[in-house]
Structure 1
């Protein structure tokens, strides 16, 4: 057993220090303390050696120790200043698994359960010694980096990283299954083209389309993945889901384009107005009677959005299309539409797709709101617009 021989006060301090969290026994009076070294194991570690450190005063030894869960007990093996027992005492650890895809990625990653047990020891000084302890049970599989979404048809990479970790259990292999939506049926998949690394791996999504991996998933669908780790006859699984989203512009600006020559020109990139005399910084300007046109040499043109009834339910009206801010739909409508460099008669509810090239090419939408004309000595027309844009990557 470990002996504390420095001076009398030290063993008291050492023995008391472990008593703060327990609040049950004054270990200095007993002359011994037991500290759990194995504080957590995975749900595949059903045959792991659990270890305690034994700390005693000079004249005290631990002669016997039992570990109990409820009415089930086992004898711990004593060797010097350590005691060990096998985690098989805890029974089936997979009963603690967390496998709820409706739980957020971060919550699933951190969620754990635990086993409550206690030790019953015989001390050479005749004092009884019982101490409770807790072992956390974690999943062998977890996400190192989750994905909030996969962006459809973009060259920008989205990476999902999972890891596998046990105390001593050997993971034989990790397989992966996929399905479309919550109600789908799982099927095997090998997105990397080879077996997954048993310690963890990363799956990179790039240029994801309905043809990718044979999934036939498009915008508004949800990809479900289920990872399965096998260790002998034991398995652990982890499920995650990833919505498929389109490329969009993140925010929009609401402004008023006016026939007032002190503010009749607009830079769409900065949402800044300029006077009619400014010929350098504006990109569009007011056009009589109720429209707008290209300013100067700006590389921009417009396509008016027509009937959308043939689109999906998410884009079958102008309001829905603008609310979704879907640039891939906008690009398609632009490519198939009639390009104009001027609009003379915009009315409330109209929607225009524009393509503009500065250092890069961006697509955007201009939605027409109220159009107000007044005659207070000088005729004034104001067009309320909401617009936004972004580069398609």
Structure 2
């Protein structure tokens, strides 16, 4: 057995041992310490060999060890510097993942002293997510990846199945998104170009996909549920600016939200158009579609305010494709919304929402068009 150093202070022999649970040092004239080496097991490990490490003084050995959980006690198998018992003593492990399971160990020492110590066995789920997903982006070539893992101490996982449902109130049904059984050690599910036809789920933007992984080991099962909202492609931020008839700042670069003078013919992309509008500047590859009646859209997009708040580029693209393209707008009014398509190095879609239109006459007639706009590439 491992031996502890003995410190002689006057005539008293004291053994110094470490309390793992509280991170403190206990001083006890016992001559031994026991450490739980198997401090955690999975909730499927109901038949696993649990091991203690025994440390003693030179003249002390552990002759017997009793392990108790609740009303049940077993004698551990003591051999030199280790002692073992079977995790079946712990009973049902599933459901004890949060608090763990408390046990008490009483060791009989050769010096006649009993040594009692409490431990908590940590219970972990066999299934876990290595990489979760905050959302699945609808109809994009950019990959969204979900990775799960399965791990036990010694329990054999026979298989892992997967179920899905639409929304919290849906009903789970089997699914095989990989087209083959899942790997019992864990697997990766990649979502790309996800639409309402993917995997037969019939999920659209604003729906939520629920997945439930089920690991089976003999008669035992562990499950793991995760849910993933389906979201659209959007532009992240918008800019609020004032497009003015003032020739010192009547041109605007939409990419940088920077204003330019009327004499600048290189940097701007749109410019003010009398009486209350805007138009393409120079050779900019841009055109606009005015958004009309949205009452036929879903509840999330059936008003201009809702559509702009959602910043949904897929809806914007559909409305643009179905609309009449113009390169100039002459009579924009408060509350109007325009979809635009612009090509620089890449093609992007955006929205321009019209706010207050203010005209003043202070010696020089001046019109200011308050707009809010944002754009992004559809990937």
Same fold (TM over 0.5): yes
Task: Answer yes or no: is 1:310 the counterpart of 2:296.
Answer: yes
Which residue does 2:95 correspond to in 1?
95
- In structure 1, C-alpha distance between the alignment counterparts of 2:164 and 2:109, rounded to whole Å: 56
Do 1:15 and 1:32's aligned partners in 2 also have CA atoms closer than 8 Å?
no
Bigger share in strand: 2
> Which aligned pairs between 1:94-133 and structure 2 lie closer than 5 A?
94-96=94-96, 112-133=98-119
Which of 315, 321, 329 is the matching residue for 2:307? 321
- In structure 1, C-alpha distance between the alignment counterparts of 2:323 and 2:35, rounded to whole Å: 74
- In structure 2, C-alpha distance between the alignment counterparts of 1:46 and 1:20, rounded to whole Å: 24
Bigger share in helix: 1
User: Residue 102 of structure 2 aligns to a residue in which SS?
Assistant: strand
Which residue does 2:155 correspond to in 1?
169
- In structure 2, C-alpha distance between the alignment counterparts of 1:202 and 1:176, rounded to whole Å: 12
Which of 187, 195, 204 is the matching residue for 1:218? 204
1:50-82 deviation line (CA, Å, top 9, x unaligned): 000000001111111111112221111101110
Gap runs ≥5 in structure 1: 98-111
Which residue does 1:379 correspond to in 2?
365
Which residue does 1:354 correspond to in 2?
340
Aligned length: 375
| Change beyond 3 A, Cα 1:318–1:19 | closer
Task: Answer yes or no: is 1:391 the counterpart of 2:362.
Answer: no
Flag as ranges the 4+ runs of structure 1 deviating above 4 A. Answer: 6-9, 22-25
| Change beyond 3 A, Cα 1:313–1:79 | same
Which residue does 2:52 correspond to in 1?
52
Which residue does 1:106 correspond to in 2?
none
Q: CA RMSD in A?
A: 1.6
Task: Answer yes or no: is 1:63 the counterpart of 2:63.
Answer: yes
1:303-341 deviation line (CA, Å, top 9, x unaligned): 000000000100000000000000000000000000000
Do 2:41 and 2:121's aligned partners in 1 also have CA atoms closer than 8 Å?
yes
Q: What is the Cα deviation at residue 295 of structure 1? A: 0.2
- In structure 2, C-alpha distance between the alignment counterparts of 1:139 and 1:159, rounded to whole Å: 21
Q: What is the Cα deviation at residue 44 of structure 1? A: 0.2
1:180-231 deviation line (CA, Å, top 9, x unaligned): 0011111100000001010000000000000000000010000000000000
User: TM-score, normalised on structure 2?
Assistant: 0.96
Task: Answer yes or no: is 1:244 the counterpart of 2:230.
Answer: yes
User: Residue 300 of structure 1 aligns to a residue in which SS?
Assistant: strand
Q: What is the Cα deviation at residue 384 of structure 1? A: 0.4
| Change beyond 3 A, Cα 1:372–1:306 | same
Q: What is the Cα deviation at residue 23 of structure 1? A: 5.9
Task: Answer yes or no: is 1:79 the counterpart of 2:58.
Answer: no
Do 2:19 and 2:26's aligned partners in 1 also have CA atoms closer than 8 Å?
no
Q: What is the Cα deviation at residue 24 of structure 1? A: 9.1
Task: Answer yes or no: is 1:143 the counterpart of 2:144.
Answer: no
Do 1:15 and 1:33's aligned partners in 2 also have CA atoms closer than 8 Å?
no
Gap runs ≥5 in structure 2: none
